[in-house]
């Protein structure tokens, strides 16, 4: 009799384990459905905007399709549109996201875009001020939809986050924060500096400026985290516009050697955006192996084997385990020597740049040699995925310099450190795709 009870209990645990794995997959798909819904809302909003009349014979579509650059600028502008409220997840597995834009904001963007790219149809930016005479709408709204691949299970298994280990919660929050930083960087890069330049044009001038910009993004203010009961966490970050201008001016003074930009140039940014702050939201989910098994309520006297506090291991994982190095921080020291033929000041700067590049190289070598499986390294995985390769390089280039030492012989040493959990988050995201 005891043997049959044990077998029955093991079968029950197996059923609940499989259900828990399915619930974790649903959490990931909810986040993906939210992104798909936002993309659909952006598409619908673009269609609605392009149907707006500028005058009796011209629509926004006529202006946008006049040049490829304007079409690209519209796509970038829509990326930064703030959503209305929270995503709505329906019981049938669909998700709805609503975006909106005011007529005055649309006119503001059209006038700035006209100033940057010009137009054969629109003779002056003042024509956009007449748009309210031809359109009754003050606000344009679009609701996009996204769907999960698997219809969610309606069975209640309690509060999801009560079964996530502290480490799992931390990793979910970190993943959401990295996603928020990425979204914030994309939004900021689309902000205009002048009528024909954007922040992206300045940031991509040199590796040093790009690294400083990435470090600035990593220091953005985190407004808070929101843990949704269906298994994903949202992190919101923001940057004050005045702080952004100040930081870009500092990067220009320190690292920019050209003539296109100067510190005063960035004061013009306030003319092209009416947002006091720039916000971005990122999402993340905990890895499955950091979710505890669900133990259902039992009758008094019933014995259920197993430890509910032991992290769940899926029976057939589709991605590798979390490697031991995911919680480590590596440190490297790059060195550079001054050139004898250069003036002392320039030689010192070039030596520091050489030391920085050497530190990047050392970081790359260590990261590429990390093991994912017994026969697979990070290098093997990265070389098969161009997107992950680009993101990995960007993450390495964004590593902050911890210390710079100028040695008596003129040699410069640069210390850097990188938390490897960020590398693992990129790789894990690649496996999910």
User: What is the model's pLDDT at position 123?
Assistant: 83
- The H or E element that residue 431 is part of is helix 420-432
Q: How many domains does the chain have?
A: 3
Q: Are residues 267 and 332 located together in one domain of the fold?
A: no
Q: Are residues 166 and 252 located together in one domain of the fold?
A: yes
User: What is the model's pLDDT at position 154?
Assistant: 46
3-state secondary structure at position 54 = coil
Complete DSSP assignment for 282-301? EEE---GGGBBPP-----TT
Single out the residue in 105, 120, 150 at which a domain terminates. 150
DSSP β-bridge partners for residue 376: 373
Query: Are the CB atoms for 157 and 20 separated by under 8 Å?
Result: yes
Give the alpha-carbon dihedral of 69, 245, 180, 107, to 10 degrees.
-40
**Closest among 301, 292, 319 to 16, alpha carbons compared:** 292
Q: Are residues 9 and 111 located together in one domain of the fold?
A: yes
Q: Are residues 131 and 184 located together in one domain of the fold?
A: no
> Could you give the C-alpha distances from 70 to 121, 210, 275, in angstroms and in order?
13, 25, 21
The CATH number of the domain holding residue 376 is: 3.30.1660
Domain-embedded: residue 301: no
Domain-embedded: residue 237: yes
DSSP β-bridge partners for residue 224: 236
Q: Are residues 411 and 367 located together in one domain of the fold?
A: yes
Q: Are residues 141 and 166 located together in one domain of the fold?
A: no
Q: Are residues 29 and 97 located together in one domain of the fold?
A: yes
Phi, psi dihedral angles at 329 (to 5 degrees): -120, 130
Residue keyed to tokens 């079409």? 71
User: What is the model's pLDDT at position 248?
Assistant: 92
- Could you tell me where the DSSP H helices lie in 190-228? 199-203, 207-218
Q: Are residues 347 and 282 located together in one domain of the fold?
A: no
The CA distance from 177 to 147, in Å, is 24
Domain-embedded: residue 371: yes
**Closest among 426, 382, 164, 140 to 287, alpha carbons compared:** 164
Single out the residue in 259, 287, 315 at which a domain terminates. 287
3-state secondary structure at position 238 = strand
Single out the residue in 239, 265, 287 at which a domain terminates. 287
DSSP β-bridge partners for residue 198: 192
Phi, psi dihedral angles at 122 (to 5 degrees): -100, 120
User: What is the model's pLDDT at position 11?
Assistant: 56
The CA distance from 285 to 321, in Å, is 15
Q: Are residues 125 and 200 located together in one domain of the fold?
A: no
Domain-embedded: residue 155: no
> Could you give the C-alpha distances from 86 to 24, 97, 177, 394, in angstroms and in order?
21, 7, 18, 30
41 is in which domain, residue-wise?
1-150
Over the chain (433 residues), what is each successive 10-residue block's mean pLDDT? Answer: 60 52 60 78 83 83 85 79 78 78 86 84 85 80 73 55 78 85 86 86 88 84 82 86 90 88 89 82 81 57 46 46 78 84 80 87 85 74 77 79 85 88 78 57
Query: Are the CB atoms for 25 and 153 separated by under 8 Å?
Result: no
Instruction: Give the global pTM.
Output: 0.46
Q: Are residues 345 and 401 located together in one domain of the fold?
A: yes
Q: Are residues 32 and 108 located together in one domain of the fold?
A: yes
**Closest among 38, 232, 230, 36 to 152, alpha carbons compared:** 230
Q: Are residues 199 and 99 located together in one domain of the fold?
A: no
Phi, psi dihedral angles at 412 (to 5 degrees): -115, 135
């Amino acid at each position: 009799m005891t043997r049959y009870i044990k077998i029955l209990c093991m079968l029950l645990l197996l059923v609940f384990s499989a259900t828990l794995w399915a619930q974790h997959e649903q959490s990931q798909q909810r986040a993906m459905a939210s992104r798909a819904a936002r993309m659909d809302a952006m598409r619908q909003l673009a269609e609605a905007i392009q149907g707006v009349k500028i005058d009796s014979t011209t629509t926004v579509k006529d202006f946008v399709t006049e040049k490829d650059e304007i079409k690209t600028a519209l796509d970038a502008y829509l990326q930064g549109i703030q959503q209305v409220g929270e995503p709505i997840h329906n019981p049938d597995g669909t998700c709805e996201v609503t975006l909106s834009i005011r007529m005055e904001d649309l006119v503001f963007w059209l006038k700035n875009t006209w100033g940057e790219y010009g137009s054969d149809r629109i003779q002056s930016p003042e024509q956009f001020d007449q748009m309210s005479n031809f359109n009754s709408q003050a606000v344009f709204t679009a609701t996009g939809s996204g769907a999960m691949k698997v219809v969610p299970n309606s069975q209640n298994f309690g509060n999801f986050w009560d079964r996530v280990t502290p480490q799992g919660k931390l990793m979910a929050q970190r993943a959401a924060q990295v996603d928020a930083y990425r979204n914030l960087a994309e939004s900021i890069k689309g902000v205009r500096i002048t009528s024909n330049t954007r922040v992206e044009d300045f940031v991509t001038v040199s590796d040093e400026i790009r690294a400083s910009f990435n470090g600035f993004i990593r220091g953005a203010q985190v407004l808070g985290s929101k843990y949704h009961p269906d298994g994903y966490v949202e992190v919101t970050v923001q940057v004050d516009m005045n702080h952004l201008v100040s930081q870009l001016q500092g990067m220009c003074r320190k690292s920019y050697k050209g003539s296109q930009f100067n510190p005063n140039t960035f004061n013009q940014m306030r003319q092209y955006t009416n947002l006091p702050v720039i916000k971005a939201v990122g999402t993340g989910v905990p890895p499955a192996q950091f979710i505890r098994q669900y133990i259902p309520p039992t009758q008094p006297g019933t014995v259920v084997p197993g430890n509910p506090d032991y992290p769940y291991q899926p029976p057939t994982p589709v991605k590798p385990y979390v490697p031991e190095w995911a919680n480590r921080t590596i440190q490297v020291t790059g060195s550079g020597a001054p050139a004898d033929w250069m003036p002392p000041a320039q030689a010192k700067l070039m030596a520091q740049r050489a030391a920085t590049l050497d530190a990047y190289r050392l970081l790359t070598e260590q990261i590429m040699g990390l093991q994912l499986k017994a026969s697979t390294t990070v290098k093997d995985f990265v070389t098969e995925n161009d997107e992950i390769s680009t993101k990995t390089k960007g993450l390495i280039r964004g590593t902050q310099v911890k210390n710079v030492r100028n040695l008596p012989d003129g040699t410069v040493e640069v210390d850097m450190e990188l938390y490897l959990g960020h590398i693992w988050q990129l790789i894990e995201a690649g496996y999910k795709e």
